[in-house]
Structure 1
């Protein structure tokens, strides 16, 4: 088992989207160089002053590339520490060589497990351990101080690994949320296609029965089959991006839609007064859009009941236009501790994106929390031609 864990660590890739540099890097560089100048000017017992100054400036520059090249920066920094420790062993100066500003290397210790691959973490840790051992021998420090220094050196690395684990866990949860939302869309696609195909089979059977006695009725039956087929293709285009490799295995049950919103807003429990407004032609929405509208309102009402502080009213508006459907959910409460979207809103944003729409959520200009979504009534294909419904 230990061998498998080591193999997994060795093959662990780097975290994606590591930023090259941010403003904090330049602030750290300025603070480090300022510390080098002050220490080189004010310290009287500084051993090998020119070497110590160059060494301090060198260590201050390396963190600029710590996210994109963590192993290289750790190797350069602690390789320099090893060379300085070897030189100290040979020359045997009375005091340790180097500046206190060299503590900036702790940033590299943090960056190695935070941004490095598994292979880089293992190799970089070996370099750090070698540098620590040689420095301890060169400085001839007591065992107690060596233990304290070892803990102090590796504490940033532990923090970096914890931050990375937390970020990875959140990304995994977000991906699971997206996967569940896509599976639900796939289930709805299964239901929609099954309903339409069942209708096509019934119409075709009726047309076959009437073909011998009433040819015109048979022609109407074929037109009905054509219309049902067109609707089925439209729904498949709208949701096929959500199909997964696994089987759906869903029962034939139409998903909740706009028609169920009245029942939904009557069930929160009485803490909030819900003002529901439906405007426009909402009876003929495609099933995928109809279900998405219901899910957006459902999630928004649930979040308002849980998180809206001092809220008294929740305003829900669903407006159908010629080509789009707009959903707006707003409360008049206060929001605390809402730094980012929850997993429910993340799943809804994924659903809206798959349907070709958008969803935005955030604090209102004056108060409350607002959720705004815009969904197309039908997915348009570039270069294609849409067929009007009868």
Structure 2
């Protein structure tokens, strides 16, 4: 039991952190304040209605700070409710349940334990003062509902965050493997040129100088790609050595499915070389886009993949004419593609077309990912 309490006490605050105040918070605050005044004016059987209304109005602004300081806001609300007895007769004082929800949704473990003790003590004090068993059961039911809602949304947000993190790690691991192959290629070229330069240097100094220039070029490329690798998180497993897919491999996506869906591919090969990490990322994004279209689009007949490369970078467009199987939402595949593009300093956007269908557009710079 002590271990369970210690674990609850040491639990961190919810992630991601609570959002800042938005217009909905001000609307909620204004609505509750108006309802408090209306109830105080038009409820004839209130005990000391002026005092009750004034006290509840005084603690209503706690709604604005309920996410960032839930425990303190709970204390501010509970204090007048427990000390000024007529306040308990105001139905609008039940906005306290919103504070309880915020406590279990956002607070740390220490604040959760302290807040739970305070709420249970408040309920017990109400019963001791003659609130009655029915009032105690009703208050406990409302409290339990707020607690369960807060914990459910807290768990849901945490689970989604963990899932997104696994997706990011998977994308970064794939990118790390592509970069591993590329760096290995450049280092091998450097080693071969260095051996050749050493062998011919005594007899042909100009050939040795050519070898040094090639080594300088290869080393510069390797350095840029090593810097990009710093931004990639990968686990401790040994990378599988395999050639990195390039722009030419996008042509492999062209096909006609048994259902009659035609996938057309057009690739504009550049006059200058595209770094292998960029080419691999473009291929992966095109591959994921085609897969998503074939898997999720209804009444699909055509998918068009166009990749245009020049000295600045690569622009990719994947368009299909299918209908959405569900309302547009940021799926995990789209998040993975955006993450891959962002790691290389580019962008990837997806969305429905005005005339029907779905489009994915990505732009990746030839050079420009952050070190």
TM-score scaled by structure 1?
Answer: 0.86
Structure 1 contact 36–56 (Cα < 8 Å) conserved: yes
Cα offset, 1:5, TM superposition: 4.1
Q: Which residue of 1 aligns with 2:324?
A: 335
Corresponding residue to 2:176 among 160, 163, 186: 186
User: Partner of 2:317: helix, strand, or coil?
Assistant: strand
Q: Which residue of 2 aligns with 1:51?
A: 51
Cα offset, 1:311, TM superposition: 2.3
Q: Which residue of 2 aligns with 1:362?
A: 351
Structure 1 residue runs without a partner (length 5+): 89-95, 383-390
User: Partner of 2:231: helix, strand, or coil?
Assistant: helix
Q: 1: distance between equivalents of 2:81 and 2:187?
A: 73
Structure 1 contact 110–157 (Cα < 8 Å) conserved: yes
Q: 2: distance between equivalents of 1:104 and 1:74?
A: 11
Q: Which residue of 2 aligns with 1:200?
A: 190
Higher alpha-carbon deviation: 25-34 or 171-180: 25-34
Higher alpha-carbon deviation: 302-311 or 215-224: 215-224
Superimposed CA distance per residue, residues 183-242 of structure 1 (whole angstroms, 9 cap, x where no aligned partner): 222222221111111122223223333344444433333333233222222322333321
Structure 1 contact 362–371 (Cα < 8 Å) conserved: yes
Q: Which residue of 2 aligns with 1:169?
A: 159
Corresponding residue to 1:121 among 87, 92, 112: 112
Structure 1 contact 109–154 (Cα < 8 Å) conserved: no
Structure 1 contact 192–287 (Cα < 8 Å) conserved: yes
Q: Which residue of 2 aligns with 1:92?
A: none
Cα offset, 1:28, TM superposition: 1.9
Q: How does 1:1-390 map to 2 (within 5 A)?
A: 2-15=1-14, 16-85=16-85, 97-142=88-133, 146-244=136-234, 246-247=235-236, 249-266=238-255, 270-281=259-270, 284-379=273-368
Cα offset, 1:350, TM superposition: 1.8
Structure 1 contact 316–329 (Cα < 8 Å) conserved: yes
User: Partner of 1:365: helix, strand, or coil?
Assistant: coil
TM-score scaled by structure 2?
Answer: 0.91
Over 3 Å counting, the alpha-carbon distance change for 1:27 and 1:226 in structure 2 is closer
Higher alpha-carbon deviation: 50-59 or 99-108: 50-59
Cα offset, 1:291, TM superposition: 0.5
Superimposed CA distance per residue, residues 48-91 of structure 1 (whole angstroms, 9 cap, x where no aligned partner): 21222123323433212111110111111112222134xx7xxx
Over 3 Å counting, the alpha-carbon distance change for 1:145 and 1:320 in structure 2 is same
Higher alpha-carbon deviation: 116-125 or 307-316: 307-316
Higher alpha-carbon deviation: 359-368 or 370-379: 359-368
Structure 1 contact 70–112 (Cα < 8 Å) conserved: yes
Over 3 Å counting, the alpha-carbon distance change for 1:282 and 1:126 in structure 2 is farther
Structure 2 residue runs without a partner (length 5+): none
Higher alpha-carbon deviation: 160-169 or 201-210: 201-210
Structure 1 contact 258–282 (Cα < 8 Å) conserved: no
Cα offset, 1:342, TM superposition: 2.0
Q: 2: distance between equivalents of 1:272 and 1:221?
A: 51
Superimposed CA distance per residue, residues 267-304 of structure 1 (whole angstroms, 9 cap, x where no aligned partner): 76555321212124177210100100011111111111
Q: 2: distance between equivalents of 1:339 and 1:156?
A: 31
Higher alpha-carbon deviation: 11-20 or 197-206: 11-20
Over 3 Å counting, the alpha-carbon distance change for 1:108 and 1:259 in structure 2 is same
User: Partner of 1:242: helix, strand, or coil?
Assistant: coil
Q: 2: distance between equivalents of 1:166 and 1:325?
A: 38
User: Partner of 2:105: helix, strand, or coil?
Assistant: helix
Q: 2: distance between equivalents of 1:323 and 1:199?
A: 25
Q: 1: distance between equivalents of 2:328 and 2:59?
A: 35
Q: 1: distance between equivalents of 2:259 and 2:103?
A: 53
